[in-house]
Structure 1
């Protein structure tokens, strides 16, 4: 089976490549513009004849169409995912996440792709009306990133219903793991190991954390479910207070860094805890008891890098 992974040199995408390449039946095409993805994430596959890299951009339809030719399965992971960056560069967020997704869907329909798997986000819900948040919760995003994922999901629904394109939508919580460099956990780990302050905006937030390997497993398992019309939350289900996370990082790093509270940022959701029953039932995925179970592993990995 020939598989296209958009954003395949990125954080989650490169881990998906690692898993797929273990199965000899897959030929993998990676499409990435390398604005956030890194060739070093996939460098260990450069001599594998079943892995090909295409330097292209989902914002350009021709790049997507050319990369997708001959494929049967598409994982669409390419996105601008940082919340504050989406506020600062709203045009880039829209072009990448909305136009990019439209280009993927348009090409998939044209080439009669067997299935598209799209990674959305828990940010589509905005500030929850109730907890835990199930997949029927109203979509009322709080920032441009969430809004772009709402729009992309609507296009997925349209292509499903109008063109009968098989699409699976996974709404990811805050994913953490190796190769992530820009979000709160890697930033705090780096700062803690270097003795720098950990900046906490607000301090009241509760976030849902999911280890990257669980996300990859969800991406693999969802392809076997036919006629999946509704999204699936992918997460832990029990939120972690942001201050608990910060203190745990200080503890694991034996750091003397200080927590410095700053005013909250309006674009950020204060509390998010998803209901993950559909994930458990449909994908037979069960998160660990402690959402921070893999944090020591990540701290060890960062010690070896710095």
Structure 2
């Protein structure tokens, strides 16, 4: 089986690439083209018989057509993901997330791809109107980022309905773990505590999240890709467990035996009507379709994440003195 992973140089994409290789797949891994020739989190991985690393940009339709040649399954993860930056550069999000998805769908259609896994996000639901959130929950564009992902999912769905492209919308909730960008709250806290700071500035810590360990998220992607009944469906990848950001941070502080003080920084607060205050995902559909459900507890996942970030070699790749939008 030959698979393409777009966004393979990123947090989830690099873990997914490793998982697919472990399952015996031939993987074409797309890293965003850059003048530094950086492979992101695939740095140091050599191109082998079953791994082909390519550089490019999903915003180019001709390039997308080229990388879909001879591929069986596309895992489309390439996207701009930072919510704060989407307030400043919304057009970039439309170009990458919406147009990029259009380009990939068109290329997949032309090459007769057997499965197209579109990566969604729980942010498309906005603040929960009811919990746990199932796939029928209304979509609410509370940031330009979430709007672009709603648009990207709609494009992929349209290719299923109009052209019979075998699309599956995989909708992971808040994934965390080793290699996550410091734009997210969990690596922000862990990396700063590991660096020895005694006070950490934060945005609102009252919202709740359904935190999902990265290896569980990746296994969810794989299970869906192998499920014929999932074609044409939107499927949550969630733990069905809710915890506040504040409680999560306190768990991290305890795991790291830290006395760090958390401070609210108004500059880091989202606009009031843009903040997503509650996310708790229903994973019944995933279990029904595939028999799989995430199994890593929040305590186990945080402990593994802390262990990775506490390694000086890993920590050195993070700029803990800067605020990442």
Q: Same fold (TM over 0.5)?
A: yes
**Match of residue 190 from structure 2:** 189
Measure how far apart 1:93 and its partner are: 1.1
Specify which of 193, 200, 203 is matched with residue 201 of structure 1: 203
**Match of residue 271 from structure 1:** 278
Structure 2 CA distance for aligned equivalents of residues 280 and 80 of structure 1 = 29
> After the TM superposition, which residues 132-281 of structure 1 pair with which residues of structure 2 at under 5 Å, given as runs?
132-182=132-182, 183-196=184-197, 197-227=199-229, 228-263=231-266, 264-266=269-271, 267-281=274-288
**Match of residue 73 from structure 1:** 73
| Uncovered stretches (5+) of structure 2, i.e. residues with no partner | 316-325
Measure how far apart 1:34 and its partner are: 5.4
**Match of residue 56 from structure 1:** 56
Structure 1 CA distance for aligned equivalents of residues 308 and 296 of structure 2 = 22
Aligned residue pair count? 304
Note if contact 1:33-1:55 (Cα within 8 Å) is conserved in structure 2: yes
| Uncovered stretches (5+) of structure 1, i.e. residues with no partner | none
Note if contact 1:192-1:255 (Cα within 8 Å) is conserved in structure 2: yes
Q: Alpha-carbon deviations, 1:19-46, whole Å to 9, x = none?
A: 111233x2211112157x9525224531
Distance 1:116 1:131, change over 3 A: same
Structure 2 CA distance for aligned equivalents of residues 133 and 47 of structure 1 = 41
Note if contact 2:31-2:39 (Cα within 8 Å) is conserved in structure 1: no
**Match of residue 123 from structure 1:** 123
Structure 1 CA distance for aligned equivalents of residues 38 and 130 of structure 2 = 38
C-alpha RMSD of matched pairs (Å): 1.8
Structure 2 CA distance for aligned equivalents of residues 65 and 287 of structure 1 = 34
TM-score, normalising length from structure 2?
Answer: 0.89
Structure 2 CA distance for aligned equivalents of residues 38 and 234 of structure 1 = 30
Structure 1 CA distance for aligned equivalents of residues 79 and 153 of structure 2 = 13
* SS at 2:22 equivalent: coil
* SS at 1:162 equivalent: helix
Which range moved further: 71-80 or 178-187? 178-187
Structure 2 CA distance for aligned equivalents of residues 33 and 189 of structure 1 = 27
Distance 1:47 1:152, change over 3 A: closer
Moved over 4 A (4+): none
TM-score, normalising length from structure 1?
Answer: 0.94
Distance 1:186 1:289, change over 3 A: closer
